[in-house]
Amino acid sequence: KSNNTPTKSSTTNTYTPYTPEQQTELLLDLAQIHTRLGDIERSNDNLLSCIDDYHHALTLRLETLCPYDRKVADSHFSLAAVYAEAPNRMGENEGRVNMFVNSLGGGDEADGSTERKNGDGGGLTEEEKVHFRQRSLEHYLACGVAFTGMLAKMCGVDPEELTTINDAKESTASAVG
């Protein structure tokens, strides 16, 4: 016998026909949908939309799962990879668009109207590239932390002991120096 009693939603003060377990399952399904949408956006070179969808998936997964879950690690890895490839692919795409517009006679190459401020005819500014690289590293690190936590839990160790980044930096510094 299933419990189909409506439950009160904490955010809207209304009653929902879903149990907390069903709500969690629906949120995880929505996260998976955002992940697949991000994959499609990525394959179509819509990297900013891809990043947005991957962020939605990560947010939903962090709301419903512990930070040491494989699906959370997967979201971090996807974000890290797209942030890492974004500077190169966005520059290539913008360059292709500029060439196409120019081939149609729509761009004015003489006044540089189709070029970005960095002067290379496409791509991102150096600050934007640094931002994307930094975000990539942050998500690769978070992915590693998630996997470390998963391994710690499998070994019966408190994940917080192994995944605190500051402690890892301090212990590395004390071991080296």
Q: What is the pLDDT of residues 115-138, one digit of tens each?
A: 444 334 346 789 989 999 999 999
For residue 34, the model assigns a pLDDT of 98
Alpha-carbon distance values, 5 to 1, 12, 29, 34 (Å): 12, 17, 22, 29
For residue 150, the model assigns a pLDDT of 94
Q: Residues for the chain: how many in total?
A: 177
Q: What is the pLDDT of residues 63-91, one digit of tens each?
A: 999 999 999 999 999 999 999 998 888 76
The helix-helix angle for 20-43 and 70-103 (nearest 10°) equals: 30
pLDDT value at 30 more than 60: yes
Average pLDDT, the chain: 80
pTM of the model: 0.70
pLDDT value at 111 more than 90: no
